[in-house]
């Protein structure tokens, strides 16, 4: 596959992701509403006509209750999805830079980083991106932006301080390759896609806690109890998707783009062994503390910035957005 084939494929995947985004939300919302009616509004039974209905729902079946509710929610869900995608496209870069606590740097502060980036951009005929740093001793980097005017390469201070010049050049070239190959569009949409589910799970969990806190002293505790139960169920559905299913989406979308970015960086610098050496150092200390609260951003980084200990670390590893570091280094050494 050539670079141009990869760019075309990324554009096609971006549009597919845009289409699947609202459909997946509707599917999970439907499942959550169905579970809410099926479990917490009453017990199941078959009526005289053989319909599977709820004791408290009269003649309506679980599916009919769910369909009626979803029809009422559909316009609101569609509107929220469109707003989320628009905000992610136009303001996603600023949001991600804010979440990562990245700060812009000037030429006077980091002249070497500016020189390396400018030389690579000139050689590729690319516009100069913004440069930012994260104040962290670890070694990692990522790039954000869907438009030339908001594209930004982010490096940790540890990466700048601990890598040699040729290694740092290889890492910057890797990030510029993501811009050149149009990977940033795909990554930004995928991050927005995953973050939406984790955000919704938090919203519903908070609603459930608020409803549960109002049970005491309430004249109508049943309503607050049902609200708490419904919020908990919907929160669980979105949490399961955001933290367990979404990593598989990342796996399908982003492994090949890391291999291509490595190869493109090696082509830019004509020095694949330098990037291989940098990846070896990064793999030993890639954890970025500020990103631990924003797991969806891990797919943006050159190496997974999240700790991989415990059960949840194993689950994240099953759907890792990055190929094995040893394999990436081996491929670079073969070039």
Is the predicted pLDDT of residue 100 greater than 60, yes or no?
yes
Distance CA 87, CA 95 (A): 9
- For the segment 201-210, the average pLDDT, to the nearest whole number, is 79
State CA 229 to chain mean position distance: 28
Q: How confident is the model at residue 223 (pLDDT cuts 50, 70, 90)?
A: low
Identified catalytic residue from 167, 169, 175, 258 = 175
- What confidence score (pLDDT) does residue 311 get? 39
Distance CA 92, CA 68 (A): 34
Distance CA 19, CA 221 (A): 41
Helix (H) or strand (E) holding 274: helix 272-284
With contact defined as beta carbons under 8 Å apart, do 141 and 156 qualify?
yes
pTM exceeding the 0.85 threshold for the entire prediction: no
For the stretch 224-240, pLDDT in tens is 666 677 778 777 877 77
Query: How do the domains of the chain map onto residue ranges?
Result: 80-101+182-334
For the stretch 113-145, pLDDT in tens is 999 999 999 999 999 999 999 999 999 999 998
Lowest mean pLDDT among 70-79, 184-193, 249-258: 249-258
- For the segment 14-25, the average pLDDT, to the nearest whole number, is 70
With contact defined as beta carbons under 8 Å apart, do 28 and 241 qualify?
yes
For the stretch 236-291, pLDDT in tens is 877 777 667 666 666 666 667 788 889 889 989 999 999 999 999 999 999 998 88
Distance CA 246, CA 21 (A): 12
- Higher-confidence position of 288 and 53: 288
33-37 — which CB contacts under 8 Å span 24+ positions? 33/66, 33/69, 33/70, 33/73, 33/234, 34/62, 34/63, 34/66, 35/233, 35/237, 36/229, 36/230, 36/233, 36/234, 37/62, 37/65, 37/66, 37/69
Instruction: Supply φ then ψ for residue 305, to 5 degrees.
Output: -90, 5
Contact partners, residue 110, CB within 8 Å, separation at least 6: 131, 133, 160
Known active-site residue 289: no
Distance CA 250, CA 27 (A): 19
Instruction: Quickly count: other Cβ atoms within 10 Å of residue 226's Cβ.
Output: 14
Distance CA 205, CA 235 (A): 5
- What confidence score (pLDDT) does residue 217 get? 60
Return the residue matching tokens 């459909």: 23
Beta bridge partners of 130: 152
- What confidence score (pLDDT) does residue 110 get? 94
* Structure tokens that stand for 15 in this block: 């549009």
- For the segment 9-30, the average pLDDT, to the nearest whole number, is 71
Is the predicted pLDDT of residue 149 greater than 80, yes or no?
no
Q: How confident is the model at residue 59 (pLDDT cuts 50, 70, 90)?
A: low
Closest to 11 in 3D by CA, of 248, 175, 184, 259: 184
- For the segment 48-64, the average pLDDT, to the nearest whole number, is 61
Instruction: Supply φ then ψ for residue 302, to 5 degrees.
Output: -70, -25
- Higher-confidence position of 116 and 219: 116
Is the predicted pLDDT of residue 309 greater than 70, yes or no?
no
- Higher-confidence position of 334 and 319: 334
- For the segment 140-162, the average pLDDT, to the nearest whole number, is 90
When mean pLDDT is compared over 279-283, 314-318, 319-323, the highest value belongs to 279-283
Helix (H) or strand (E) holding 155: strand 152-156
- What confidence score (pLDDT) does residue 6 get? 62
Lowest mean pLDDT among 7-16, 124-133, 175-184, 236-245: 7-16
Is the predicted pLDDT of residue 318 greater than 50, yes or no?
no
Return the residue matching tokens 């494929």: 9
């Amino acid at each position: 596959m050539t670079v141009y084939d990869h760019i075309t494929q990324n554009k096609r995947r971006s549009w597919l992701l845009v289409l699947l985004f609202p459909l997946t939300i509707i599917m999970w919302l439907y499942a959550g509403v169905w579970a809410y009616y099926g479990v917490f509004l009453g017990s199941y039974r078959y009526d005289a006509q053989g319909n599977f209905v709820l004791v408290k729902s009269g003649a309506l079946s679980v599916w009919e209750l769910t369909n009626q509710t979803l029809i009422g929610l559909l316009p609101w869900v569609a509107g929220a999805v469109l707003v989320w995608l628009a905000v992610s496209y136009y303001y996603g870069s600023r949001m991600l830079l804010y979440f990562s606590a990245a700060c812009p740097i000037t030429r006077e502060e980091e002249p070497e980083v500016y020189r390396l980036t400018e030389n690579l951009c000139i050689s590729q005929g690319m516009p100069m991106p913004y440069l930012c740093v994260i104040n962290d001793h670890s070694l990692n980097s990522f790039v954000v932006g869907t438009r030339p005017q908001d594209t930004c390469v982010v490096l940790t201070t540890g990466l700048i301080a601990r890598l040699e010049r040729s290694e740092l050049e290889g890492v910057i070239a890797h990030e510029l390759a993501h811009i050149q190959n149009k990977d940033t569009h795909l990554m930004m949409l995928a991050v927005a896609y995953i973050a939406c589910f984790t955000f919704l799970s938090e919203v519903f969990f908070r609603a459930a806690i608020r409803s549960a806190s109002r049970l005491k002293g309430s004249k109508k505790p049943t309503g607050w109890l049902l609200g708490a139960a419904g919020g908990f169920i919907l929160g669980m559905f979105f949490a399961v998707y955001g933290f367990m299913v979404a990593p598989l989406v990342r796996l399908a979308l982003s492994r090949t783009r890391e291999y291509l970015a490595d190869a493109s960086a090696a082509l830019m610098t004509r020095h694949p062994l330098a990037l291989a050496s940098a990846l070896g150092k990064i793999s030993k200390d890639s954890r970025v503390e500020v990103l631990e609260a924003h797991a969806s951003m891990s797919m943006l980084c050159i190496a997974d910035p999240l700790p991989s200990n415990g059960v949840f670390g194993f689950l994240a590893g099953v759907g890792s957005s990055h190929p094995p570091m040893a394999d990436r280094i081996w491929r670079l050494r073969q070039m």
